[in-house]
């Protein structure tokens, strides 16, 4: 399988008030292939989100390297970084917070297109098409984030992420705050998008049942380290690490 994303020895230290350092992510290496759905699982504080933020370059890595399509993006800046975001986008847990509360959903979705030189009218047409692809009518273009439900807002956030046709979506607990029936709809949407657009997902999640239903491979993180890695079936049927076993025994 061709590699889309490769992470090598990624480490993040945060300094605490006492001057000590806290290692949130500790020597993490893995790779993600084209057209693959990989889960990162672990409990709160295990470093999942810090890992995602480093890959998307929202947090600077302390050491280690990140390669996207074999291009080293660990220290990419400015123009370079903007180009990288055309290949990689992120969807967050709280969709409403990820939109500017004073601007309409259409503004948020069209923004990246306009920034790339598309004319406004054209960008809005494209935004309308994207919303449609995500199952929302064009009336949502002119709604404000607080005027729509959580599920609708998350669909709009996915539409926004898709606007510049990325190859990789990083989803950080993207369905955790949603109702069960809505979660199912969103996962269905992600599945069909993967087929239509040949995308890869890095799916950060704490729900093992969900990961089993949705992902091909998974890595298990504990205290910043990867303790187990494999296909979802293999890890769930034959967990090797005590922590993975404990997680599975906890599923109700």
Partner 1 sequence: MAELLRYDHINIRYGQSLVIEDVDFNLASGEILGIVGESGSGKSTLLKAGMGLLGKEGQLCRGKILYDGKDLGQCSEREMQKIRGRELGMVFQMAGSSFCPIRTLGVQMQEAVRAHKRISKAEFMDEALDLLNKFGFDKPDRILESYPFELSGGMQQRVGIVAAMLLHPRVLLADEPTSALDVSVQKQVVEQFLMIREKFGTSILLVSHNIGVIRAMADEILVLHQGKTVDYGKKDDILAQPTSEYTEKLLEAVPRFRR
Per CB under 8 A, does 15 bind partner 1?
no
Per CB under 8 A, does 184 bind partner 1?
yes
Per CB under 8 A, does 242 bind partner 1?
no
Rounded to the nearest whole angstrom, what is the least distance from the CB of residue 236 to partner 1 in the complex?
A: 6
Q: Which DSSP state fits 149? A: -
The encoded tokens of residue 119 equal 């004319």
Residues whose CB is less than 8 angstroms from the CB of residue 244 and which lie 6 or more positions away in sequence, other chains included:
220, 227, 228, 235
Query: For residue 229, is it left (φ>0), alpha (ψ between -120 and 50) or beta?
Result: beta
Rounded to the nearest whole angstrom, what is the least distance from the CB of residue 48 to partner 1 in the complex?
A: 12
Per CB under 8 A, does 212 bind partner 1?
yes
The encoded tokens of residue 175 equal 């369905």
Cβ distance to partner 1 smaller for residue 111 or 185: 185
Query: How many residues bind partner 1, per CB under 8 A?
Result: 26
User: Interacting stretch for partner 1, rule CB under 8 A, among 63-71, 139-147, 180-188, 194-202?
Assistant: 180-188
Per CB under 8 A, does 69 bind partner 1?
no
User: Interacting stretch for partner 1, rule CB under 8 A, among 68-76, 96-104, 153-161, 243-251?
Assistant: 243-251
How many whole angstroms separate alpha carbon 54 and alpha carbon 45? 15
Residues whose CB is less than 8 angstroms from the CB of residue 145 and which lie 6 or more positions away in sequence, other chains included:
95, 96, 99, 100, 101, 105, 153
How many whole angstroms separate alpha carbon 75 and alpha carbon 50? 16
User: Interacting stretch for partner 1, rule CB under 8 A, among 32-40, 140-148, 175-183, 215-223?
Assistant: 175-183
Residues that bind partner 1 (CB under 8 A): 43-44, 150, 179-184, 206-210, 212-214, 236-237, 246-252
């Amino acid at each position: 399988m061709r590699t889309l994303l490769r992470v090598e020895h990624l480490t993040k230290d945060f300094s605490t008030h006492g001057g000590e350092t806290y290692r949130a992510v500790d020597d993490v290496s893995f790779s993600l292939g084209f057209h693959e759905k990989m889960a990162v699982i672990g409990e709160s504080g295990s470093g999942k989100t810090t890992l995602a933020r480093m890959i998307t370059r929202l947090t600077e890595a302390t050491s280690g390297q990140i390669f996207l399509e074999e291009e080293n993006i660990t220290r990419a800046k400015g123009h370079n970084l903007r180009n990288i975001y055309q290949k990689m986008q992120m969807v967050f847990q709280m969709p409403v917070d990820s939109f500017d509360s004073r601007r309409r959903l259409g503004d948020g979705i069209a923004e990246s297109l306009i920034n790339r030189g598309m004319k406004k009218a054209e960008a809005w047409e494209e935004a309308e098409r994207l919303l449609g692809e995500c199952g929302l009518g064009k009336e949502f273009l002119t709604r404000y984030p607080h005027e729509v439900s959580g599920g609708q807002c998350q669909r709009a956030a996915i539409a926004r992420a898709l606007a510049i046709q990325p190859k990789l979506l990083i989803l950080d607990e993207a369905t955790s705050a949603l109702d069960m029936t809505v979660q199912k709809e969103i996962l269905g949407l992600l599945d069909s998008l993967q087929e239509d657009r040949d995308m890869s997902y890095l799916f950060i999640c704490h729900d093992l049942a969900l990961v089993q239903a949705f992902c091909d491979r998974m890595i298990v993180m504990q205290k910043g380290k990867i303790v187990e890695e494999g296909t979802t079936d293999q890890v769930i049927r034959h967990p090797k690490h005590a922590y993975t076993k404990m997680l599975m025994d906890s599923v109700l």
